[in-house]
Amino acid sequence: MSDLKVSIPRPPLTSFTLPLTAVLGAMFGFVAGNVYGQPWIGALGGAVVGAVMAFVAHFMSDRRTVTRWGTIAVLAITGLLAGGLGAAFSGVIIGAVMSWFAYWLDSGAYRKNVPIYYTAGQTLWYNSFLFICGLVFFFLIAPLLPVMWLSFNAEDFFTFTPEMLNFQAEGYSLKHYRNFLGTEEWMTPLKNSLIIAPFATFISVSLGTLAAIGLSQSHVPGRQAIMAILISPMIVPLIISATGMFFFYAPLGNWLEANLNLDQRLVGYMKVILAHAALGVPFVIITVTATLVGFDRSLTRAAANMGADPITTFFRVQMPLILPGVISGGLFAFITSFDEVVVVLFVGSAQQQTLPWQMFTGLREQISPTILAAATILVTVSILLLAAVELLRRRSERLRGLSPG
Amino acid sequence: MADTTQSGPMLAADGSPLKRSLSRTLRRQKLRALLLIAPLLIFVLVTFIIPIVSMLFRSVENQIVSHTLPQTVEALQEWDPNSGEPPDEAVYQALFFDMFKAAEAKRHTQVGNRLNYEQPGLSSMFRGTGRSLDDMGEEFEDALVDIDPSFKTSEFWFELLSGEGADSFLKDRRAKLAAMAGESMRGDIGFAPSAKALELLPATTEAYTDFAIWTAIVEEDVVAEERPWEAVYAGLGVDLRSAEVVQQIASYDGPGAAALKAAVANIDQLPQESFRDMFAESDEDWLDTEGWRTMALYSPDYTTGYFLNSVDLQKTIEGVEARPETQQIYIKLFIRTLYMSLIITGACILLGYPVAWILANLPLRTANVLMILVLLPFWTSLLVRTSAWKVLLQQQGVINEILVWLGFVDDANRLIIMNNATGTIIAMTHILLPFMILPLYSVMKTIPPTYLRAAKSLGATNWTAFWRVYFPQSVPGIGAGSILVFILSIGYYITPEIVGGTDGVFISNRIAYHISSSLNWGLAAALGTILLLVVLALYWCYDRIVGIDNVKLGG
């Protein structure tokens, strides 16, 4: 399909680009001036800079890259002279935004994504809407960034030091990472998490996959009720699950220790693993049943027709096809266990202290930025997991013959 | 063909009627499906549903009082709580023997703690008196040993009270002791109470039988070789206070007759003080009727007390009444939880709607990239996000630092946006936003963009087209997302605990407090049950609107 090319006329300089860029400049100027207690002078200066920017954009529209970098450099140096590195950094941001804004207006790019018949008001609304969405995305992601930055703090504080803000090398260190990786205080919880989560995942995935296959059969008596029971660990608030498990697992553990002569440590792990496995079940059920909806039943019949017994059919035909669903359900179950703190807090004992537990007590009582190092490592891990799930999803869609994403 | 000539029912290949054959196949299919589901169903029932049900049970269960102090509770039935007088001697006497056993099992402090939830001060009363029980019994012991040294020997008591014919009595004592101590009292104890002794010296035999069971099973000693409890001496003292017993001893000639007769002869040497006075001596408050009223009120096995407590009511002899103003916290906390969850849900709709719209309407490739920005926080550990908000919101945090640096906020008057409701709302909106965006997105994805264009070409303004055509179709998404966010938020614990301070905590924090700090588990269970009911009601709505089968995870 060939797109209809519409040439957008360049807007007038004096009645459109100039005033708008000046207003933006005035806003930046107001904020910058406020740092020195002179917001209105700052606003005036900003408006002048904005006006100059508009002229530059209008008359040097063919040398966009050069002028933009030039603006950034000029504003950065101004900032550096006026208020050190922090201000220089702000100068870079302001320069980038303003030069982009001036060219964006002047070239008519602001109308690129709206129909040609849109009025000025509609165009304004469309762009404001994009801006609002951008702010929400910023709200979603931005909180994670200071955590990563702060995890390289050289001090034992939860706040930014002046050295950090001025990008001096002595303000930064890897000591919190060393502390995380090198002390029992953090390695034991990590080890516990890595013991508990895989076992819990294994239980919920193996039982969950079987049950999901059962649930996807055409005649299941009481399907709704069964589904409700199996999903319930996800619906019931964690604090209630934790309370219930606390009352139930403590005597159960005592009984196991007394009557089966099991080691206390082993029983402690068993309790937490069983509790986490129960919490992970709904995720496996949901993802695997969703995969099974698109499963072509004639494949199993064909396999049976060619003499495969049900077990062979399951492992050779059905399993490879639903594997992406099983794996992403397993990932959800793993994350549920790996990230869970309320239940383990109530059911586990100090020997089963997991990483989230240690982070929780750390946050509540002694504030050490080692938590932030742990957090940064976890964010990195979750990015990797996210990538894995995305790849699996694409593979699953390709296998099932759906349109590629 | 057979089919055409046969007039009977249609037959399957094996000759059985087709109908039966089909229903057999169907049955087999159902059975196979159930067999596949069964392991998980049993697993979830055992590891999850039973614990929840046991929690529900705990919110009304109150057996600790009647199990620990069975005879006291029984004797207390006779007492009129409105009389304004403390109960009579029989109750104090029963309390002594009950408490003595409970103190041996270290259970008296537990019942004290239980009653302390209802009336502060009872815990220390039980604990303090628990320490002086031995002294009370020793007074009897010393007096009896002075009269006749054979009272000191373990063989004397064993011979005096051993015999046969009281098997049902022994069984009853075992059951009572097992209920009190919470452990099994089965097994051989090397002692059998005699029916004759029971008739002659009921209190003594009772105390000695309890002692025998406890010694043999819990302490694993030989009954005949152990000095009995002080309570046994007290039991004899109590028995000798009855004129009838004194009379019967005159004609008694069984084992230990000489010593008993000597005791009767010197009966004035035995302590004459009533148990009521002894208890009053140990703690004045035992004469206070308030404590006894509480005990009478909470003696039944099941109580509505915890539930009344969790809605700021209290149980009194006169009936249910409101708690004093200063103690009313739970209704306020429930309302705050609901109110803040509503605000969080509203904030999530406001922020999530535009984002979901843009994700649903952008070209797929761009939308997928932007989707990662939604999924990344969704996949990031809850604690990471909570600590991020702690970094941002604290007084020396990023937001305050930037505002101070820019000169918008005075250094001395930094914004207080953490450890209060604002902090909880901001942090939880961020944490729960993906749960709003994802269902909204999946609903909006199904709304054809042509509808909007059609509305506009028919002359609708942008706003009318959105409000009358697009918005109504996206309402199911809003409903699904809102209920999901609301359910998740009213049960939240971690985030309010860390950024909520005192003003920003939810009912779940109170439940956790009762579980781990105040140890008032019944109240925690009652609060949890109420919360669970609210969530189940919401879940039912969710099922109605979306259906559980349609829950999607991560796009």
- pLDDT tens per residue across span B68-123: 888 888 888 888 878 878 888 888 888 888 888 888 888 888 888 888 888 888 88
User: What backbone phi and psi angles, to 5 degrees, belong to B552?
Assistant: -115, 150
- Checking if the pLDDT of A403 tops 60, the result is no
- Per-residue pLDDT at A404: 42
Distance CA B386, CA A280 (A): 22
Q: How far is B541 from chain A, CA to nearest CA, in Å?
A: 12
Interface test with B, best of A127, A239, A335, A357 (most B CBs within 10 A): A239
- The rounded mean pLDDT for chain B is 85
Distance CA B351, CA A133 (A): 8
Whether residue B26 and residue A219 make contact (CB cut-off 8 A), yes or no, is yes
Distance CA B248, CA B233 (A): 19
Whether residue B33 and residue A328 make contact (CB cut-off 8 A), yes or no, is no
**Element containing residue B314 per DSSP (H, E):** strand B313-316
Query: Which is nearest to A352 in space by CA: A271, A262, A232?
Result: A271
Residue of A nearest to B497 (CA): A364
Q: Span A70-84, mean pLDDT?
A: 87
Whether residue A133 and residue B358 make contact (CB cut-off 8 A), yes or no, is yes
Lowest mean pLDDT of A262-266, B6-10, B17-21, B157-161, name the range: B6-10
State the SS3 of B516-550: HCCCCHHHHHHHHHHHHHHHHHHHHHHHHHCCHHH
Contacts across the A-B interface (CB distance below 8 Å): 277
Q: Which of residues 18-57 of B touch A (CB under 8 A)?
A: 26, 29-30, 32-37, 39-41, 43-45, 47-55
Q: What pLDDT, in 10s, does the model give residues A367-385? A: 678 888 888 988 888 788 7
**Contact list, A189 vs chain B (CB under 8 Å):** none
User: What backbone phi and psi angles, to 5 degrees, belong to B316?
Assistant: -130, 170
User: What backbone phi and psi angles, to 5 degrees, belong to A290?
Assistant: -60, -40
- Could you tell me if B163 and B194 are in contact, meaning their C-beta atoms sit under 8 angstroms apart? yes
Q: How far is B449 from chain A, CA to nearest CA, in Å?
A: 14
Q: How many CA atoms lie within 13 A of B138 on its CB side?
A: 5
Distance CA B460, CA B452 (A): 9
- Could you tell me if A154 and A173 are in contact, meaning their C-beta atoms sit under 8 angstroms apart? yes
Q: How far is B491 from chain A, CA to nearest CA, in Å?
A: 5
Whether residue A136 and residue B355 make contact (CB cut-off 8 A), yes or no, is yes
Distance CA B525, CA B523 (A): 5
**Contact list, B493 vs chain A (CB under 8 Å):** 238-239, 342
Q: How far is B155 from chain A, CA to nearest CA, in Å?
A: 34
Of B383, B389, B551, the CB nearest to A360: B383
DSSP B180-220: HHTS---S--S--BBHHHHHH-HHHHHHHHHHHHIIIIIS-
**What spatial distance separates the first Cα and last Cα of chain B, rounded to whole Å?**
57
Lowest mean pLDDT of A259-273, A387-401, B60-74, B458-472, name the range: A387-401
Distance CA A22, CA A18 (A): 6
Query: Which is nearest to B95 in space by CA: B84, B111, B83?
Result: B111
Q: How far is B537 from chain A, CA to nearest CA, in Å?
A: 11
Lowest mean pLDDT of B8-22, B222-236, B538-552, name the range: B538-552
Distance CA A389, CA A99 (A): 39
Q: Which of residues 307-366 of B touch A (CB under 8 A)?
A: 351-352, 354-355, 358, 364
Q: How confident is the model at residue A3 (pLDDT cuts 50, 70, 90)?
A: low
Q: How far is B531 from chain A, CA to nearest CA, in Å?
A: 8
Q: How confident is the model at residue A1 (pLDDT cuts 50, 70, 90)?
A: very low
Lowest mean pLDDT of A211-220, A374-383, B480-489, B539-548, name the range: B539-548
Task: Give B11's contacts (C-beta < 8 A, 6+ positions apart).
Answer: B2, B17, B18
**What spatial distance separates the first Cα and last Cα of chain A, rounded to whole Å?**
20
Whether B392 contacts chain A with CB within 8 A: yes
- Per-residue pLDDT at B551: 56
Q: B141-158 burial, b if ≥16 CB within 10 A, otherwise e?
A: bebbeebbebbeeeebbb
- Could you tell me if B354 and A133 are in contact, meaning their C-beta atoms sit under 8 angstroms apart? yes
Interface test with A, best of B22, B31, B37, B371 (most A CBs within 10 A): B37
Looking at per-residue confidence, does B366 or A3 come out higher?
Answer: B366
Of A240, A286, A372, the CB nearest to B387: A372
Whether residue B40 and residue A235 make contact (CB cut-off 8 A), yes or no, is no
Cα A197 to Cα A373, B282, B506: the distances in Å are: 21, 54, 28
Encoded tokens for A294? 């698109």
- Per-residue pLDDT at B546: 67
Q: Which of residues 76-135 of B touch A (CB under 8 A)?
A: none
- Checking if the pLDDT of B449 tops 90, the result is no
Residue of A nearest to B498 (CA): A364
- Checking if the pLDDT of B40 tops 90, the result is yes
- Per-residue pLDDT at A201: 95
Distance CA B199, CA B188 (A): 24
- Per-residue pLDDT at B549: 58
Q: In one letter, which amino acid is A159? A: T
Interface test with B, best of A235, A291, A366, A371 (most B CBs within 10 A): A235
User: What backbone phi and psi angles, to 5 degrees, belong to B186?
Assistant: -85, 160
Whether residue A35 and residue B405 make contact (CB cut-off 8 A), yes or no, is yes
Q: What pLDDT, in 10s, does the model give residues A6-52? A: 567 788 888 888 899 999 999 998 988 888 888 899 899 999 999 99
Distance CA A208, CA A227 (A): 12
Residue of A nearest to B516 (CA): A346
Q: What pLDDT, in 10s, does the model give residues A293-323? A: 777 888 888 998 999 988 898 888 888 888 8
Whether residue A375 and residue B383 make contact (CB cut-off 8 A), yes or no, is yes
Question: Taking the model in full, what pTM does it have?
Answer: 0.83
Query: Which is nearest to B481 in space by CA: B374, B373, B354, B346?
Result: B346
Whether residue B381 and residue A220 make contact (CB cut-off 8 A), yes or no, is no
Q: Name the percent of chain B lying above pLDDT 70.
A: 97
Q: Span A192-216, mean pLDDT?
A: 93
- Work out the number of other CB atoms within 10 angstroms of the CB of residue B202: 16
Q: In one letter, which amino acid is A243? A: T
Enter the DSSP assignment of A294: T
Looking at per-residue confidence, does B199 or A139 come out higher?
Answer: A139
Q: Which of residues 501-530 of B touch A (CB under 8 A)?
A: 508, 511-512, 515-516, 521, 524-525, 528
Specify the 3-state DSSP secondary structure of B275: helix
Cα-based torsion angle of the residue sequence B138, B140, B141, B147 in order, rounded to the nearest 10 degrees: 150
Query: Which is nearest to B428 in space by CA: B542, B357, B341, B308?
Result: B341
